[in-house]
Chain A
């Protein structure tokens, strides 16, 4: 990364100020991307292969430590923890993708509409977002779990709905900025349709901000799913999910603390990856910050 930056900067330019931060930004982005790729790979691999069946119990081999046979040991039913972690990556990614998908597909157009129309449309949309904002995603998911029963689908939908206001707000503030630029003014003067302006000018300009919001929301969705499964309101057994693996091993804190450490580390690393990715992308997309950090 830094190599190409060096080559790219024209000679004679006072690039010392610019080059250093750029290199650091790339480090954030690189680590974030690497972690995300690892999580995605784990999920993909689990589609075809896990060392053992992650849901099959082997009572004779329960509560073993790490060994060549069981990389991360076995749990109280004799299930292979490493297989569970691999499979859990799939659940984690699925929840993140679907809930972020719901939020971005509903929230972004609403935010653009509010920003472009203004007036009553804006007021109603943003007040609606305020009301939804009073219900954090996790609280919404607990309520949904109570009403519709605990399932991965319920959790994804609830987290997705809870994340809509964030996208609406980001899209609206970005749209407001774009709408005040001269090229939008020119487009409006040449009487282009609102839809065309939204597609040609607004969307490309706010895409960066929306992508950053996706990454940050993804991390929050992973955290929410873990908390829900920990509470028994997320992915139901026997499907392995990191949050429930944590909850199931809580009783072995004194005797087998590693059973808590593995799924805990998986959650923390995944969240760290998506947060770093978001940070790295934000620095990329927001030139205002480039000189400062």
Chain B
């Protein structure tokens, strides 16, 4: 188990640093000089020289890379070339917003997917099971931002029950925080719930054909009781894998949904930075998103060993 932990941890570190190199090189492939972009075309050569020194872009690329990458583990992302402000406090601020949105959406999605997916599997030959499958198939086809727009049309514009966009920090006005969170979370969670429902269904279907479940039935347990006591733990492993993959997709999906609902998260920050050609901010936000994805994968891999004793023994 310790070996497995170390292997995973070293893979995480290698992947992370390989990703930093890739992102850094891609971002520096941009035609143009950051100082020129910041100052505009009419800047004098002296001012450009001065600005390059201030930004640190006059140094060789490897030096710039090392400078940037050694700051990352300490949460030090450097100073934006465009706004000339420290990027780190803004990321710290935005990451909370995005994490609240993404985590809450994932929890709601699982609360939808686990009961409905199980039901769809248990009743897979009945109309109710087929209906759930059809609904989930439809949900998978709708992108999160479209779900968001449609929810706004119905619940904000049509019925006027909820605000159509905006964000209130939870410390400021908790009621308003929740009210503004309902539609974006519903948009992300409904789509994600549909995706996960399909996986829960097939995982439970798989488990239902196992011998041990037949044994459990033979010793007198009802169908649902047998499934809950012996089946769901086994069905949870493939679902966990998918959840971790989907969590990464959800983080990126949230980028677009944040735009729809004007939520000041990492997604809005990324898109604003792209619009301003603020490359250092873009590469920093991207690395934060990638780091979150990798950390999730690491945690999930540890969870496997908790859920599946066979993996624990093998290592």
Cβ of A114 < 8 Å from any Cβ of B? no
A260 touches B141 (CB 8 A): no
CA distance A226 to B253 in the complex (A): 12
CA distance A236 to B182 in the complex (A): 32
Mark interface residues in B138-155 (1 if CB within 8 Å of A CB, else 0).
101111011001101100
CA distance A260 to B273 in the complex (A): 27
Q: Which residues of B contact A170 (CB under 8 A)?
A: none
Q: Knowing A130-B15, A264-B149 are in contact, say whether A275-B141 is a contact too (CB < 8 A).
A: yes
A131's contact among B18, B153, B248, B259, by CB below 8 Å, is which?
A: B18
Cβ of A65 < 8 Å from any Cβ of B? no
CA distance A219 to B137 in the complex (A): 12
CA distance A292 to B206 in the complex (A): 9
Q: Which residues of B contact A142 (CB under 8 A)?
A: 255, 270-271, 274
Query: How many inter-chain contacts with C-beta < 8 Å in the A-B complex?
Result: 115
CA distance A250 to B148 in the complex (A): 11
Cβ of B189 < 8 Å from any Cβ of A? no
A293's contact among B29, B124, B286, B289, by CB below 8 Å, is which?
A: B124
CA distance A227 to B138 in the complex (A): 18
Q: How big is chain B's contact interface, by range? A: 35 or more
Q: Knowing A146-B277, A223-B143, A292-B209 are in contact, say whether A136-B137 is a contact too (CB < 8 A).
A: no
A264 touches B150 (CB 8 A): yes
Q: Which residues of B contact A131 (CB under 8 A)?
A: 15, 18-19, 22
Q: Which residues of A contact B84 (CB under 8 A)?
A: none
Interface of A is mostly: helix
Distance (whole angstroms) from the CB of A280 to the closest CB of chain B: 11
Mark interface residues in A260-293 (1 if CB within 8 Å of B CB, else 0).
1000100111011001100100000000000011
B270 touches A292 (CB 8 A): no
- Add 8 more A-B contacts to A147-B30, A233-B274, A271-B142 (CB < 8 A): A130-B11, A136-B251, A139-B286, A223-B143, A226-B146, A231-B271, A246-B149, A257-B153
Contact surface of A with B, Cβ cutoff 8 Å = 127, 130-131, 134-136, 138-139, 142-147, 219, 223, 226-227, 230-231, 233, 246, 250, 253-254, 257, 260, 264, 267-269, 271-272, 275-276, 279, 292-293
